[in-house]
Structure 1
Amino acid sequence: MVRASLAAHGDSGITPRHTLFYFYGEGDHDDLNEVARRAGFLTKGQDDATILETTMAVDEDSFAPVSAMMQSWAAAFQLDYDGWECAVVTN
């Protein structure tokens, strides 16, 4: 849905931009934060919420492996991956 919204605004996703990923639940946020920091993400959150931040392209080819990684982290740390967001960037 995010990529469809970007396309509707003329954004192909190839330009790197600030991107956020959201995790919720009662799983292991501390371990998620540690693994994410090692992978180059900034982390923030409290209690049952973690937000990961990075700058990246969000076109399908760039984003697919990151999306798979987010889903695997959610499963590994027993958290709910609630999706992602980014700004619209047009050239």
Structure 2
Amino acid sequence: MVRAALAEQGDSGITPRHTLFYFYGDGDHGDLNEVARRAGFLTRGQDDLTVLETTIAVDEASFSPVSAMMQSWAAAFQLDYDGWECAVVTN
């Protein structure tokens, strides 16, 4: 849905941009933060929310491995991955 919204605004996703990923739940936010920082993400949040931040391209080819990693982290740390958002960058 995010990529479709970007495309509607003339954004192909190939230009790297600030991107946020959201995790909720009672799982292990501390371990998620540690692993994400090692992978180069900035982390923030409190209680049952963790937000990961990075600058990446979000076109399908570039983003698919990142999306799979987020889903894997959610499962590993027993959290709910609630999706992502980014800025629109027209190319």
TM-score greater than 0.5 by the shorter chain: yes
Matched, 1:4 2:16: no
CA distance in 2, matches of 1:86, 1:39: 19
Alignment partner of 1:40: what SS? coil
- What's the TM-score once normalised by structure 1's chain length? 0.99
Q: Which residue in 2 is equivalent to 1:37? A: 37
Q: Which residue in 2 is equivalent to 1:60? A: 60
Unpaired runs of 5+ residues, structure 1, are none
Once the two structures are TM-superposed, the CA of residue 43 in structure 1 deviates from its matched residue by: 0.1
Task: Figure out how many residues of one structure are paired with residues of the other and give that number.
Answer: 91
Moved over 6 A (4+): none
Q: Which residue in 2 is equivalent to 1:49? A: 49
CA distance in 2, matches of 1:87, 1:46: 23
- What's the TM-score once normalised by structure 2's chain length? 0.99
CA distance in 2, matches of 1:71, 1:13: 20
Once the two structures are TM-superposed, the CA of residue 9 in structure 1 deviates from its matched residue by: 0.2
Unpaired runs of 5+ residues, structure 2, are none
Amino acid at match of 1:55: T
Q: Which residue in 1 is equivalent to 2:28? A: 28
Alignment partner of 1:43: what SS? strand
Q: Which residue in 1 is equivalent to 2:13? A: 13
Alignment partner of 2:62: what SS? helix
